[in-house]
């Protein structure tokens, strides 16, 4: 049984959710999100509440998707109302970051500059090696942030590279002088 799937998702004022077949559309003040949910779990919209019921009781796959669908819908409702944001910090001498149009330009100590296209629906700001990535789709924000971080992961000796704002990097001692 899914504890998350049993919970109801409350639709705040100013937000509307519509279900057409297996496609759920959530419109809010920040934008619109559309997602397809295959028919293993039934989604019910009554008034300002969204509930979920599995089609087959006791099936492990359906029970797993029950909670997953509820979590996705909750993230959609929260995204169109408040949005999501992640912050990256770039540490290292000579490392730079800047936003130019639809590209994120990075100088990461390689022999060439690194250019990353910013996906539609995301806003990226870079000031003094602090990069803020925000948008309404939680998955898109998280995956783009992870792809930027993977360009230069933090190394354990000096802490150079990208790390999340609240991430703690375990540091190693290094060599000792004799």
Flag whether pLDDT at 33 surpasses 70: yes
Question: Are 129 and 89 contacting, i.e. CB atoms less than 8 angstroms apart?
Answer: yes
Q: What pTM was computed for the model?
A: 0.89
Confidence of residue 1 (pLDDT cuts 50, 70, 90): low
Where helices occur in the chain by DSSP H, the ranges are 3-6, 60-81, 138-149
The CATH fold of domain 84-164: Outer Surface Protein A; domain 3 (3.90.930)
The residues pairing with 45 across neighbouring beta strands, listed in sequence order, are 50
Asked if residue 30 lies in contact with residue 83, where contact means CB atoms within 8 angstroms, the answer is yes
Report the SS3 class of residue 148: helix
Beta-bridge partner residues of 52 = 43
Residues in the chain: 178
Contact 115, 101 (CB under 8 A): no
Domains 3-81 and 84-164 share a fold: yes
Q: Which two tokens stand for residue 18?
A: 């519509």
**Spans of all domains in the chain:** 3-81, 84-164
| pLDDT tens digits for range 82-133 | 999 999 999 989 899 999 989 999 999 899 999 999 999 999 999 988 999 9
CATH architecture of 3-81: Alpha-Beta Complex (3.90)
What confidence tier does 3 reach under pLDDT thresholds 50, 70, 90? confident
């Amino acid at each position: 049984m899914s504890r998350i799937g049993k919970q109801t998702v409350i639709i705040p004022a100013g937000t509307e959710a519509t279900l057409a077949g297996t496609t759920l559309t959530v419109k809010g003040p920040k934008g619109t999100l559309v997602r397809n949910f295959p028919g293993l779990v039934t989604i019910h919209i009554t008034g300002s509440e969204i509930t979920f019921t599995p089609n087959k009781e006791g099936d492990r796959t359906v029970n797993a998707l029950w909670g997953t669908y509820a979590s996705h819908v909750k993230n959609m409702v929260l995204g169109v109302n408040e949005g999501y944001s992640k912050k990256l910090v770039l540490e290292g001498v000579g490392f730079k970051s800047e936003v130019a149009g639809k590209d994120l330009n990075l100088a990461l100590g390689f022999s060439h500059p690194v250019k990353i296209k910013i996906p539609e629906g995301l806003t990226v700001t870079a000031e003094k090696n602090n990069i803020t990535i925000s948008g309404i789709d939680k998955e898109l924000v998280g995956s783009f942030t992870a792809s930027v971080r993977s360009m230069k992961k933090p190394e354990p000796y000096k802490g150079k590279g990208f790390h999340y704002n609240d991430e703690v990097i375990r540091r190693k001692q290094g060599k000792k002088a004799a």
